[in-house]
Amino acid sequence: MSFEELNKKQQDDDKLKSGEIKSEATDDFGSTINKKNSDQDSYQNINKNINKKNSEITDQDQDQDTIYHQQLIKYKLIKSEILEWVFIVIISLIIVFVLRTFIIATSMVSGDSMLPSLHNNDYLFVRKIAYVPRRGDILIFRKNGDVKTLVKRVIGVAGDTIDIDRKSNKVVLNNKIMDENYINGVTYSYENSNVSSSRYPNLSPLKFPVTVPDGKVFVLGDNRVDSVDSRLIGFIDIKTEVKGKVSFRLWPFHGIGVVK
C-alpha cells in the first residue's frame, strides 16, 4: 500500500471516529433534553395536583363558610322568635295582672243564697273599675276582711230608708213596698230571732227601719230564707269591702249571659 493510500485511510478513520463522537454527543444532548422535558412535565403535573388540591381546599372552606353563615342566620331567627314569644308572654302577664287587679275579676258562687238568679258553682265575670253601686246591682264583697267572697243584691244605697213589712214580709224602700219578682221565699227581719252562723259568730241583726249611711250599701240575698246578708251582718262599706259588680255569667254553658 502506497503512502497516499495509507494517509487517506487514516483520514477516513479520523472522520469516522469524529462522527461517532459527534453522534454520541448528539445522543447525550438529546437524552439530556428529553430528561429535562420529562422533568418539566412532572413539575407541571405536580403543580396541577397542588392547584387541584388547593382548589378543593378552597371549595371546602367556602362550603364550611356557607354552612356556618346558614347556621348563624338560623340561630338568629330562632333567637329572635324566642325573644318575641317571651315579650308576648310578659306583656300578656302584665295585662292580665292589671286587668285582674284594677279592672276585672272572676268569682264563683258558693251556696244557694242567690237562688233563683244565681246557682252554686256559677262562674261570674266581675267589673271592678269605676264602679258605684246602684239599687238592683249584684255585687261581690268581703265582710270585715273575711277570706270568703259573698254575692248579694243591692237593695238600698246611701240615704235610703229600709224596712220590712211584718204582715206581708216584704221589703219597704223609702216607704214603698218593693215588687221583687226575682226572689225566692219571703223576707224576714231576723231582728227578734236567735240566728247564728259559724262564719259570723257575733251576728247582730239590724233593728228596722234603718237608714243607709254614706259610703255604705244595704244588700240582701235573692233566696231570702237562706241568706246571710245585711239583715245579719249590717251595712257593706263600698271602699273597703265591695270588690265589684257581677255583670256576666261565664259558666255553666246553658246559663252564659248578662246577669240581672
Catalytic residues: 113, 152
Q: How far is CA 115 from CA 61, 76, 231, 260, in A?
A: 79, 59, 17, 13
How many angstroms separate the first and last alpha carbons of the chain?
A: 161
CA distances from 255 to 28, 68, 250 (A): 116, 59, 8
- State the Cα–Cα distance between residues 254 and 228, nearest whole angstrom: 28
Measure the CA–CA gap between 236 and 225, rounded to whole angstroms: 20
DSSP state of 254: G
Q: How far apart are CA 180 and CA 16, in angstroms?
A: 153
Give the H/E segment covering residue 73: helix 3-98
For β-strands 150-156 and 216-220, DSSP reports them as: antiparallel
- Residues comprising the chain, all counted: 260
Would you state the cell numbers that stand for residue 15, as one nine-digit string? 472522520
Name beta bridge partners: 245: 127, 139
Burial of 229 (0-12, 13-18, 19+ CB in 10 A): buried
* Pick from 88, 230, 163: nearest CA to 80: 88
